[in-house]
Chain A
């Protein structure tokens, strides 16, 4: 008996209830963090959105690559041991990531307000605090990774081109904690500042420009006040006006991490309690930014 050939079938799959595992507030926060992180680095987005993070990561890694390359080329020569950049200075280079934050923080924060996605997000099991944590966490992760990974390249590269890898390791154990701590301090500062400024506006351009403006103006004003306060005599101790330089404030803490004191070339050098004042100012800025972010998402308009 001949069976008719199957010609396919149409199914109405209908609706299938979900009876699998279900997370709560923590899972929702983690989901928002993942989404924000993906957006920040351009994943699942057009190629244009991938350009900025890729270029910035390449630029941030360049000093490490150059340093390792020079180290490789000058090994067994009189110039052996030449350091193009130190680990402490590299954290300073990473402060250029401010540009990245000014670009990305508004991009992951402003559209939620401008496109009125916030009421939808807050209809899910999370709170304004969770939202702030996810957004700050995403920026923090990006900045930390971009500041830390090139240093890993530098460290591993230097270790490999040195005469003895184990000797290099034992001679440089301190940087194994100094670098991540300094990078985390830098990342936290930029993340809270970036999200706080971005939370105040629905427009990305305005938020980005404000972020850059605030830091650059504070830097300029600080430089003017510091210079006028110290006068032409460079031997006079530093000036507290240097503390209002938001661009450099995390680098003062970096100096404390690497050197245990203010660097000699720091405008706070020689100032009594300069380190403690820098820590206090850093903490104040971080706390104020967090308060601003939390207050912006405490009540959600629909």
Chain B
């Protein structure tokens, strides 16, 4: 899959803090989750992608165009949905979205036509002639999404699109984000809500304190926990745990039935199989433990590779 964003040694420093520290990225054209705590460098990365800020070192390309050489060309291909409130409150949703369509380069008539279509798409067809100032948080987020996609960008940057939404609003927003991928629009979704990423993103980039933690397909990341779950029934769990520990494997147990065994390769898996056979225990289940992205982010240790 071709990279829609490619960064090499991307570094951005502000007085007293390094917002991004020599980050290398190859983001595929799909739905990419950009995950990190507040201050991790997500918004800084967006600003660098948009050419609104200059890196102190390194290069970045969007859609094959160098941001440093042609920031205007890059912005012609990007839609942006900021995290904060950013809409003119006294204008109608239709006016706001069509204006940003025109600012994105669309002719006037096409901008109004597409504004109507995308507002319909995000579920604001009934409210499009109402001033944005009277909208709920969810409706404002939808308007922000509509203005981001009205000019049919190749890439859309979404900064915390589910912020401030109730559970149903959040689900609806994630459904919309999920649909963008099927429309052929590449998405980079910045969030600190790992569940959002796990639901809709094919690829995950994790930042922590400006450093790249992970740049991997979501599926691969979820499988790379280095832990297997073993279920031999309640009768044999204790004996198996003792035997595996004696063979040098780390074993934990959340209950009396299943064991969580840390493995580092095929050899350890063979050991587990052999021990179960020696003890003549019934093997009900032996699976890779699928963890949440939260676990990956919080517990990610040096044993996990930087990139899959």
Contact = CB atoms under 8 A, between A and B. Distances in A.
Interface of A: 13-18, 20-25, 27-28, 31-32, 34-35, 44-45, 111-112, 115-117, 119-127, 300, 302
Contact of B76 (A14, A18, A125, A127): A125
Given A16-B114, A35-B99, 15 more contacts: A15-B183, A18-B151, A20-B107, A20-B110, A31-B108, A111-B90, A115-B86, A115-B87, A120-B147, A121-B103, A122-B52, A123-B50, A123-B78, A123-B82, A300-B52
A21 B73 CA distance: 15
B86 to A, nearest CB: 5
A125 B80 contact: no
A29 to B, nearest CB: 9
A302 B105 contact: no
Interface string B38-82: 000001000100101000000000000000000011011011101
Nearest to B149: A15
Given A14-B121, A127-B72, A302-B82, A27 B105 contact: yes
Contact of A35 (B73, B79, B102, B121): B102
Contacts of B108: 31, 34
Contacts of B121: 13-15
Contacts of B114: 16, 18
Contact of B75 (A13, A112, A124): A124
B99 A302 contact: no
Nearest to A112: B88
A16 B106 CA distance: 14
B268 interface: no
Nearest to B144: A120
Nearest to B72: A125
B88 A117 contact: yes
Contact of B179 (A15, A16, A127): A15
A120 B100 contact: yes
A122 B50 CA distance: 9
B135 to A, nearest CB: 13
The 3 A-B residue pairs whose C-beta atoms are closest, nearest first, are A31-B102, A18-B152, A123-B80
Nearest to A23: B105
B178 interface: no
Nearest to A119: B82
Contacts of A111: 88-90
Interface string B145-162: 001010110000000000
Contacts of B102: 27-28, 31, 34-35
A15 B155 CA distance: 15
A27 B151 CA distance: 13
15 contacts: A16-B114, A16-B117, A18-B114, A18-B151, A22-B105, A22-B106, A22-B151, A24-B76, A28-B103, A31-B108, A45-B90, A116-B84, A116-B85, A124-B100, A126-B103
